[in-house]
Amino acid sequence: MNVQPDLEFIRTLKEAGGDTLKKCYQCATCSVMCPLSKEGKPFPRKEMIWSQWGMKEKLVTDPDVFLCHQCGDCTVNCPRGAKPGDVLSAIRSYAYTFYGWPAPLAKLASSAKGLPILIGIPVLVIFIMWMLSGAMHIPTREEFASHGYQQFFGTWDFYWYAKNIFFIVLIMVPSLGLGLFSAFKGITKMWKSMCEDAGLNKEYRPSIGQFTQEFLWPSVVEIVKHSRFRECTSSIDRVRGHLPLMLAFIGLFIVTCWSLLKNDVLGLIWPSLHGPLPLTDPFKLLANVSAIALLFGIGVLWSNRKKAESELNTLPTFYDWFLIWEITAVGVTGLGAELLRWAGMPVLGYIVYFLHLVSIMMLFLYLPYTKFAHLIYRTGAYTFEKYRESVYGKNQ
């Protein structure tokens, strides 16, 4: 077997948290200890040797890399301190940049060097939009109590579509659209590469309905239940952080959809529905519970990460901490903006709300380039695992 190692790839892995990969001497303890590793396709042993050899193409098309939940079982039990879980995490980090589109933006989001620009882009966009809206003023306490942040971008006489919503949609929809389009390009490229690497039959494929019912939907259900997370033993507390975060995002998505429907559809028929949600509203309660769950999940992930760095000597990386800080910013500024509205402090409220919009735009825009992308790529890996073991995958 003629191996042409990619030395730049090896260097990138070591900088992204895989600095211990050269300590691995292929004892296979990691694969034995991993509760998710399957007979015939053991990981992370094969990924460790591929990493040592610099076999980038094999690793970025390997679904097992994304099936790893980085629970720490392999790292805790490794006799050489090679930290296989950290190496696989570094591979995933590289893969998100490798599959990212547009490439310059994906590259920018891969290290702390690009952080000023990553923050500066949404700050500049939202500030320019605020200027263009002509609403660059701070409301009085009375206006703030009545409208909250619903006039942040001002108002106009057009009855059927609020000016504030127009500008928020103008900012957030393209940001989310770019993020989702990039994620779509990345996951389709990865899926095609995985099929080619596995030698799957291109002619014998299921319909879209069959694919969704038999492979995609079961994978989504399994992920929502955190079934594989619960199989890990060394860091079972990670479920306590991931699950509340996931449920919090679902809850906040529901509240956002209802708020838009209430104010900008139903509110056109019944004007009394305009305005901020009262504290007793069920959707407001859901929003507050989701915000608390979000902050709780962040706290658990933060604690687990610091524990891993202190007890397992895990290398602190931009890849891991950027998402933690980003979600923290979304949760803290969102809750802070609400508390400042209750306190009747429009100046601080508008500043914090501006930062809240910035953090949300960052979350949307950089979705496929950060650790948040594992939601997409891990779902793809789950689905591919079921697909390649089915009659469609075995029919060569």
Residue carrying the six token digits 């469609």: 392
Please tell me which of 119-128, 309-318, 331-340 the model is most confident about, judged by mean pLDDT: 119-128
* pLDDT of 228 higher than 80: no
pLDDT value of residue 4: 67
Q: Where are the alpha helices (DSSP H) in 265-370?
A: 267-269, 282-311, 318-342, 346-365
Q: Are 267 and 274 in contact (CB under 8 A)?
A: yes
pLDDT of residue 68: 85
The pTM of this model reads 0.84
pLDDT at 149 over 80: yes
- Which two three-digit tokens encode residue 110? 């891969």
**Domains of the chain with CATH codes:** 7-99 (1.10.1060.10), 103-394 (no CATH)
The band of 152, judged by pLDDT with boundaries at 50, 70 and 90, is: very high
- SS3 state at 79: coil
Which two three-digit tokens encode residue 49?
Answer: 């040797």
Mean pLDDT over 51-74 rounds to 85
Q: What is the pLDDT of residues 231-290, one digit of tens each?
A: 776 656 666 778 888 888 899 889 888 887 887 778 777 777 766 677 788 888 898 898
Q: What tokens appear for 388 in the block?
A: 């390649």
What's the CA gap between 195 and 197, in Å, rounded?
A: 5
79 vs 259: which has the higher pLDDT:
79
Per-residue pLDDT at 1 exceeds 60? no
Mean pLDDT, rounded, for 362-377? 90
Phi and psi for 38 in degrees, rounded to 5?
-105, 150
C-alpha R_g of the chain: 23
Mean predicted lDDT score pLDDT of the chain: 86
Q: What percent of the chain has pLDDT over 90?
A: 31
First CA to last CA distance, the chain: 24
Tokens of 63: 């679904």
Q: CA-CA distance, 250 to 388, in Å (whole number)?
A: 30
Q: How far apart are CA 244 and CA 254, in angstroms?
A: 15
pLDDT at 360 over 90: yes
What CA–CA distance (Å, rounded) separates 336 from 355? Answer: 10
pLDDT at 329: 93
How confident is the model at residue 236, as a pLDDT?
61
Q: Specify the higher pLDDT residue, 281 or 103.
A: 103
Which carries the bigger pLDDT value, residue 28 or residue 21?
Answer: 28
The residues that bridge with 272 in the sheet, in sequence order, are none
Q: Give alpha helix (H) positions in 34-162.
A: 45-52, 56-60, 64-67, 73-77, 84-99, 103-108, 115-133, 141-147
pLDDT at 234: 61
Query: What are the tens digits of pLDDT across the range 169-202?
Result: 999 999 999 999 999 999 999 999 998 888 887 7
Asked whether the predicted pLDDT for residue 114 surpasses 70, the reply is yes
Which position has the higher pLDDT, 395 or 117?
117
pLDDT at 373 over 70: yes
Angle (deg, nearest 10), helices 84-99 and 163-198: 110
- Read off the tokens for 241: 């952080």
Could you give the CA distance from residue 378 to residue 375 in angstroms, rounded to a whole number? 6
With 90 as the cut, is the pLDDT of residue 347 above it? Answer: yes
